[in-house]
Structures are given as C-alpha cells and as structure tokens.
Amino acid sequence: MVLGGGEADGTGRELRGRDRAMDEALGALYGRAGAGRDGAGRSAGGRRAAGLGASAPGVARWLGDIRTYFPSPVVQIMQRDAIDRLGLAALLMEPEMLEAVEADVHLVGTLLTLHKAMPETTRESARAVVRKVVAQLEQRLATRTRATLTGALDRSARTARPRHRDIDWDRTLRANLKNYLPEHRTVVPERLIGYGRAARSVRKEVVLCVDQSGSMAASVVHASVFGAVLASMRTLDTRLVVFDTSVVDLTDQLDDPVDVLFGAQLGGGTDINRALAYCQSRITRPADTVVVLISDLYEGGVRDGMLKRVAAMKASGVQFICLLALSDEGAPTYDREHAAALAALGAPAFACTPDRFPEVMAAAIEKRPLFIPDMPEQR
C-alpha cells in the first residue's frame, strides 16, 4: 500500500481522514528530514517530514496512533525503527511511554540495556512490560517443551524387557533382521528393545550458557524463559549461566525469569572460554549432561582454550550444542571461523527458533543426531 499526496510522493491525490492520519504516522518516522517539525512529524507548512520531536507527549501520541492504524506486528517493527533511527531509547525511561508501547521481545531487550539507568519511578513499569512479554512466551512455549522433553527423558532409559506399548519397533526390527522368515514374510523378534519409563530418580543435567553481549538480547530473553521451564521439571537439573567478560550464575533465580532478565547485564565484551570453564567445573555427571552454548562466537578471550574445553567436555561424554541465536529472527551474524572449528570437533553451530528448541533438546537428551538446518548463509 502506498500512502501520500504531497509533491514528493508523486501520486497527485490528496489524502483525507484515516488515510491522512496513517500517512502522517508513517511520515513522522520514515519521511524526509525537514525543519520546523511538530510532535506529530509535520513541518510548518504541513508537509510530511521525518521526526517525532523530543517531547514524550508527542511520541506517546504517535505510539497511540500507530496502534490504532496498524496491526501489532507492524507496530512492533515501527517501534524498533523509531528507537534505532531517531534515538528514542531515552524516552522509554518515562512511565507514560512504557504504558503506550506495544511490548515484544525486542522492546524487552532495549529495556534491559537501559534498566540500570532508569529512575526508580520507571523500574516497576519496565518490570510490568517485561513480565507481560515473558508470560506470553511461557504460554506459547512451556506446554510443548515439557511434553517433548518428558517423552525424551522416558525414551532415554532403554530396556530389554519392555511392555508392549513401550516397544521401539524400529530398533527391534533392525536388531532381528537375521531372523527373517521368507516363507512367512515376517521377522521373528527374539530380542525386544523398548523404552523404559524414567523414574523420578533418573535425572539429566542441563547447562544453558548464554552470551549476554548486546547483539544477543532476544536470545537472552528466550533462554531465560526456557531456563525457567526446564527448571520446573523434576527430572532435570538446570543451570543458567550468563556471561560477557565476567560470568554470572543465575540458577537460584530460575523460578522467576523476570528476575533472571533483570539480573543480566546486556552489552560489554565476550569471554566464552571463561564461561565454559565455569560450566565445566559444575558438571558432576558428564554422560548425563547437556551443555547449550548460546553465542554468536565472537570470542574476546582465549580461542584455543575455548576449543580445548569443548573438546574435553565432549570427550567426557557431555552432549554439547552451540546455538548462534535462539530467536525468531533470520540468520544471525556470527564468527564463521569459530563455528567451523566447533563443527570440526563434532559440535556444529546453528541458529534455532524458540519453536524448534524443544526438539533440539530432546535429540540431545536421547543422544540422537541433531537436525542441522540447511541454511548456506550460516555456514
């Protein structure tokens, strides 16, 4: 759809009513730069121009307009563009602004980078916004994650005397192919292979090691939600570690992902080697442990040390996964050399959407090969 009617738009038609209001809302963000802008993005002569002005009321009105005229996904994109293009992040430290925005994962990332500079009057509003987004993510992801991983934990305990409903027919048939009877066109299963039901005492350890550099904001949000979901499962011991050049263990806050997020410090450098050293020191049962490194692999620490730690963990029996991003965004920017080095160690690095994460974890728990998306731009 093309809106407009000024001489720069070239349509030769004058907009009225709702169409004119939509055009002005778009022009405030995407129009030409001009002098004499007001809070709605109009120049002194009424021509559309870029800019939302510097006043919080003017921006709050604009936020209300775009929520009126555009669907939620479009509103979220426009908000991100306004923050990036027009430097409106500082205005998010005012409570009335937070009440006007459309909350999403990207906004949460922005708030987390600002929260230490926020005045006390704004922090509760910011927490309310973050809690709303976290609740939406939990509603979307929690049930499926628990169901998928519960099944994986049950299947991870193999038994040679399974009940009928627990027989793994694929493995059973392959193990008994030598007993094929051509005249009857059937296989005699002398040995049954099945799934054991995981007892409450059977536990796996999961370590989420999350890069909290500024580019990983969406991944930090999703990892915090998944960490809380995994921690709620009795058959899993879950640890959440976030890092930049320092390492912070947030495991004791996993009962509330909002506390986890406000305990993170987005931005700063990256020392993956140091973070992996900490995680490695906390592993007590390597053969029953899954380590998930979520990072774009731009290492500021000791590269060879990082690779040696990954190799050592894998040699001890740890299932090691590297996710370049845990978000709904497209292919991430990442260090290709380090990704290739990890792949050579048998730890391929790939991006993962939140919807696919439960299947990735299930494969790791069952020690099945991981499905690596065929995305050339990630290689």
200 in helix, strand or coil?
A: coil
Q: Please work out, in degrees rounded to the nearest 5, the angle formed at the alpha carbon of residue 20 by the alpha carbons of 16 and 25.
A: 170
Query: What are the residues whose beta carbons fall under 8 Å from the beta carbon of 12, sequence distance 6 or more?
Result: 5
280-289 residue pLDDT tens: 999 999 999 9
pLDDT value of residue 52: 61
270, with CB counted inside 10 A (0-12, 13-18, 19+), is buried
Region 178-186: mean pLDDT is 83
Question: Does residue 207 contact residue 289 with C-beta atoms inside 8 Å?
Answer: yes
Worst-scoring range by mean pLDDT, 15-29, 90-104, 122-136? 90-104
pLDDT value of residue 254: 93
Question: Does residue 299 contact residue 268 with C-beta atoms inside 8 Å?
Answer: no
Name the percent of the chain lying above pLDDT 90: 38
Report the number of secondary-structure helices (H) and strands (E) in the chain.
Answer: 13, 10
More confident residue, 162 or 293: 293
Region 194-221: mean pLDDT is 79
d(CA 34, CA 48): 8
Taking each helix axis as running N to C, give the angle between helix 336-344 and helix 303-315, from 0 to 180 degrees, rounded to the nearest 10.
30
d(CA 108, CA 117): 15
Region 243-257: mean pLDDT is 93
pTM of full prediction above 0.75? no
pLDDT band at 40 (very low <50, low <70, confident <90, very high): very low
More confident residue, 6 or 110: 110
More confident residue, 295 or 6: 295
Query: What is the pairing mode between strands 289-294 and 349-352?
Result: unpaired
- Residues paired with 50 in a beta bridge: 33
9 in helix, strand or coil?
A: coil
* Helix/strand/coil percent split, the chain, to 5: 50, 15, 35
More confident residue, 94 or 2: 94
